[in-house]
């Protein structure tokens, strides 16, 4: 968001999850207590155990944060599992720093978040918002009146979680109907039986926090479950870049989903998504 608003050069520190090119080499002020290299099922179990024990999933380097002495700190209020939450960030806030809570669970919320960051950094967010809205409107106009395919975004693979919050909205804007969860609803755990019963025509693998290569590996690991869905097509995606955050990049995500759903839209670039053919898995 900071970079999209033109204040990327003002960044002084980042979280461990930040992967924007403009942030490369900046001091990292947070870390996760969960080993992200573990298999998805083990990560899910470790997260549940930590939450049940009342343990924080993330730690902030408070001395470093105070040394950096930022004027503005950006945090989020959406998911305690995904990133440092507002309560933790406030406890670590340096003197005189302004805390901005990003809370978007929809594109309407994204516009509000952009305005909040713009106001805090002295930037006018309206030109960016108008540009992003125009891109979404262009997609909607092209898909208007078409028969909507049944789509499911899988937000975690083991166990399967349904795409939530802004993700079903992305599918709807691209001209599909998201099965089992609707725009604005939180992601939730599902079963493969439930997913099979929903009969999705198009399945999009977008495990939260993983890039395309990692998603392909997970698709291979659950190929039997995916094959049993009898979906028309299954896509693996760079979930981190396209789905995991409600940011200006989510607009690009909508454009890419449209390319997955419709032959007359540009196909996603090979670093963004790849189509998995079943019963034979191809890479």
Maximal C-alpha separation, the chain = 58
Identify any residues that bridge with 234 across adjacent strands, giving them in sequence order.
203, 276
Q: Tell me, yes or no, whether 123 lies in a domain.
A: no
User: Of the candidates 103, 122, 138, which is a domain's last residue?
Assistant: 103
Whether 205 and 265 share a structural domain: yes
Question: 165 with 78: CB under 8 angstroms?
Answer: yes
Whole-structure pTM value: 0.91
Whether 159 and 266 share a structural domain: yes
Q: Residue 38's pLDDT is what?
A: 86
Q: Residue 77's pLDDT is what?
A: 81
Assess whether pLDDT exceeds 80 at residue 16: yes
Q: Which residue, among 235, 228, 239, has the nearest Cα to 267 in the 3D structure?
A: 235
Whether 193 and 268 share a structural domain: yes
Q: Tell me, yes or no, whether 23 lies in a domain.
A: yes
Q: What are the DSSP calls for 40-51, one per residue?
A: HHHHHHHHHHHH
Whether 71 and 152 share a structural domain: no
Q: Tell me, yes or no, whether 210 lies in a domain.
A: yes
Q: Residue 282's pLDDT is what?
A: 43
Q: Tell me, yes or no, whether 134 lies in a domain.
A: no
Pairing of strands 177-178, 150-156: parallel
Residue 86 CA to residue 74 CA, distance in Å, equals 9
pLDDT band, residue 283 (cuts 50/70/90): very low
Q: Tell me, yes or no, whether 142 lies in a domain.
A: no
pLDDT band, residue 81 (cuts 50/70/90): low
What is the number of structural domains in the chain? 2
Worst-scoring range by mean pLDDT, 53-67, 74-88, 130-144?
A: 74-88
Whether 38 and 158 share a structural domain: no
User: Of the candidates 73, 103, 133, which is a domain's last residue?
Assistant: 103
Mind listing the pLDDT tens digit for each residue in 217-232? 999 999 999 999 999 9
Mind listing the pLDDT tens digit for each residue in 147-174? 999 999 999 999 999 999 999 999 999 9
Q: Tell me, yes or no, whether 126 lies in a domain.
A: no
Whether 153 and 272 share a structural domain: yes
Containing structural domain, residue 69:
8-103
Whether 97 and 170 share a structural domain: no
Task: Tell me the CATH number at 184.
Answer: 3.40.50.1980
Cα 132 to Cα 54, 90, 240, distances in angstroms: 39, 30, 19
Assess whether pLDDT exceeds 60 at residue 281: no
Whether 265 and 191 share a structural domain: yes
Whether 58 and 153 share a structural domain: no
Whether 158 and 272 share a structural domain: yes
Q: Tell me, yes or no, whether 153 lies in a domain.
A: yes
What average pLDDT is seen over the chain? 90
pLDDT band, residue 47 (cuts 50/70/90): confident
Q: Tell me, yes or no, whether 137 lies in a domain.
A: no
Whether 79 and 153 share a structural domain: no
Whether 30 and 99 share a structural domain: yes
* Chain centroid offset of residue 247 CA: 9
Mind listing the pLDDT tens digit for each residue in 123-142? 999 999 999 999 999 999 99
User: Of the candidates 103, 130, 156, which is a domain's last residue?
Assistant: 103
pLDDT band, residue 85 (cuts 50/70/90): low
Whether cis (ω within 30° of 0) applies to the bond prior to 279 is yes
Question: 163 with 187: CB under 8 angstroms?
Answer: yes
């Amino acid at each position: 968001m900071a970079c999209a608003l033109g204040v990327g050069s003002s960044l002084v520190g980042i979280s461990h999850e930040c992967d924007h090119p403009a942030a490369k080499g900046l001091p990292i002020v947070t870390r996760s207590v969960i080993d992200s290299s573990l298999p998805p099922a083990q990560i899910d179990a470790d997260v549940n155990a930590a939450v049940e024990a009342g343990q924080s999933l993330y730690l902030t380097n408070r001395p470093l944060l105070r040394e950096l002495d930022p004027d503005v700190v950006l945090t989020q209020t959406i998911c305690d599992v995904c990133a440092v939450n507002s309560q933790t960030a406030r406890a670590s806030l340096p003197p005189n720093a302004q805390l901005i809570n990003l809370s978007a669970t929809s594109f309407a919320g994204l516009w509000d978040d952009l305005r909040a960051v713009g106001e805090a950094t002295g930037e006018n967010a309206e030109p960016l918002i108008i540009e992003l809205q125009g891109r979404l409107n262009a997609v909607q106009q092209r898909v208007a009146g078409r028969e909507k395919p049944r789509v499911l975004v899988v937000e975690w693979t083991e166990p399967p979680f349904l795409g939530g919050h802004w993700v079903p909205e992305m599918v709807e804007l691209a001209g599909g109907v998201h099965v089992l969860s609707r725009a604005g609803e939180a992601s939730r755990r599902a079963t493969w039986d439930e997913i099979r019963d929903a009969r999705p025509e198009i399945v999009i693998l977008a495990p939260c926090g993983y890039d395309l290569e990692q998603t392909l590996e997970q698709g291979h690991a659950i190929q039997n479950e995916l094959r049993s869905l009898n979906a028309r097509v299954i896509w693996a995606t760079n979930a981190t870049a396209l789905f995991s955050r409600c940011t200006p990049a989510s607009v690009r995500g909508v454009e890419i989903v449209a390319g997955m759903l419709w032959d007359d839209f540009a196909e996603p670039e090979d670093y963004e998504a790849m189509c998995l053919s079943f019963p034979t898995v191809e890479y």
